[in-house]
Amino acid sequence: MKINREILRLSIPAIVSNITVPLLGLSDTAIAGHLDADFFIGAIAVGSMMFNATFWLFGFLRMGTTGLTALAFGKNDQREIRAVFSRAVVLGAAIGLALLALAMPLREMLMAAISPDESVRQLASDYYSVCILAAPALLATTAIQGWLFGMQTTLYPMIIAVSVNVINIAASFSFVFLSDLGFIGVAYGTLLANWCGLFIALIMARRKASGGLWCGWKEVFAKGSLKRFFTVNTDIFFRSACIMGVSLATTAIGARLGELTLATNAVMMQFFHFFSFFMDGFAFTAEALTGRFAGSLDLNLLRRSRNALLSWSAGMAAAFFLIYCFFYSPIVNLITDSPTVRENITEYHIWLTLIPPLTVAAFIYDGFFIGLTATRRMLGATLAAAIVFFSVCFIHSDGIHLPDNDRLWAAFLAYLLTRGMLLALQSRQVFSRRFILSLNPQLT
């Protein structure tokens, strides 16, 4: 097998689909940035953070599903492939319905945690109240996309992601500027796009399935497989909680530092998201290939794919470092018309340039560990990194108090660097034959 060709086969569609995600964030922020007031940008930042925080906890629906499906694919176990799909979609839909029932207390809890200015609070609350109506569709679609990655296809997830984001951008623009809904039209665009996405995802999954998708309720609740499914996903759930805690704290601290800092950080985070979603194209490939080769016990291809993916990741980090060094200003100007936000971002340019080299390891090693379902080690690394974040943020030589924005960004990047390095230090054990068999005793 030509590893680089296989990596590109999987990575290019994933990168194309992921590029639409930061474009969506850019478009939402850009729409808000052209509504003649800085607080609209802040409202998008807070509302999006509340919406994302609700769903980040359930990222296991994609990640756990990818790893378990890829292992089953490597073994050519069609029964388990259907069972993973069925469990993941049923669980996603059930969690989505529960979130709808808890929408109001969740909204108030998240709003209290972030505590934005009054000019932002009501707009962000309205945004969240509309977007949460998409919960069942979004979570079920997330599970299906994870299953498709595990089935070694990134083309179908690309079709889903691109379709959802194109619908979202078009609908949001139309609702805001053509239907006179104003700011809340952005949220209605997101709601419509996510329900359309579920319909598209089911069509794509049916095209990929061999012999059907549904395994039956008895297989869904099969004791041994169900226990493994929940063990993997529980680890990822608590890992996601750590990530959510850091992300919420980053936004909450920015909000407490004032309206201008909140708007500035919202724009700066788009640089991080653009790099992260681009890098996730290679991380998704890492999940698919490592799970597949672990499932077939082909350790030679497993290690060759790891080494090739590390090389590709290093190249991407170098490319983005140069872009962020020399071409950041046109990107900022595209996002916002606000001269105060533009000027403020220039003061923090150094943090933009450090994003690619300091965060690349966290992305690619996440992909390796998810593909091998080495989820307990991922949880440990993320928890340790979160402790580093809060330590850098709040522990000063003269006591504990609110950090300034430079310290906030230093803490955020230190967290990602720590996460990546801890995973890298454990990778030798994770890629050993002994470790793979210990995680997958049925492969013997």
Cβ(402)–Cβ(421) under 8 Å?
no
261-284 pLDDT, tens per residue? 888 888 888 889 889 888 999 999
The residue that leads in pLDDT, 142 or 211, is 142
Least confident interval from 174-188, 240-254, 354-368, 429-443: 429-443
Q: Give residue 175's pLDDT.
A: 86
Q: Give residue 176's pLDDT.
A: 81
* Nearest one of 133, 134, 146, 14 to 87, comparing CA atoms: 146
Distances (CA, A) of 365 to 237, 370, 426: 18, 8, 10
Which residue is associated with the tokens 């930042």? 45
92-103 pLDDT, tens per residue? 999 999 999 998
Taking 60 as the threshold, does the pLDDT of residue 50 lie above it? yes
Q: Give residue 444's pLDDT.
A: 42
Taking 80 as the threshold, does the pLDDT of residue 231 lie above it? yes
Q: Give residue 316's pLDDT.
A: 94
Burial class of 326 by CB neighbour count within 10 A (0 to 12, 13 to 18, 19+): exposed
Question: What is the average pLDDT across 1-22?
Answer: 86
Q: Model-level pTM?
A: 0.84
Q: Give residue 9's pLDDT.
A: 93
Q: Give residue 223's pLDDT.
A: 67
Taking 90 as the threshold, does the pLDDT of residue 359 lie above it? yes
* Nearest one of 190, 152, 193, 203 to 13, comparing CA atoms: 152
Distance between CA atoms of 357 and 314, rounded to whole angstroms?
8
Question: What is the average pLDDT across 130-135?
Answer: 91
Q: Give residue 331's pLDDT.
A: 82
Distance between CA atoms of 276 and 240, rounded to whole angstroms?
16
Categorize the per-residue pLDDT at 443 as very low, low, confident or very high, splitting at 50, 70 and 90.
very low
Question: What is the average pLDDT across 181-198?
Answer: 87
Question: What is the average pLDDT across 327-331?
Answer: 84
Q: Quick one: tokens of 268?
A: 């700066």
Mean pLDDT of the chain: 86
Residues with Cβ within 8 Å of residue 321, at least 6 apart in sequence: 353, 356, 357
* Nearest one of 373, 386, 384, 395 to 441, comparing CA atoms: 373
Q: Quick one: tokens of 248?
A: 């919420």
DSSP 213: S
Taking 80 as the threshold, does the pLDDT of residue 386 lie above it? yes
Least confident interval from 74-83, 207-216, 262-271, 294-303: 207-216
Q: Give residue 23's pLDDT.
A: 66
Taking 80 as the threshold, does the pLDDT of residue 180 lie above it? no
Q: How many CB atoms lie within 10 A of CB 227?
A: 10
* Nearest one of 153, 154, 436 to 293, comparing CA atoms: 436
119-132 pLDDT, tens per residue? 788 888 888 888 89
Taking 90 as the threshold, does the pLDDT of residue 317 lie above it? yes
Q: Give residue 398's pLDDT.
A: 65
* Nearest one of 316, 11, 309 to 154, comparing CA atoms: 11
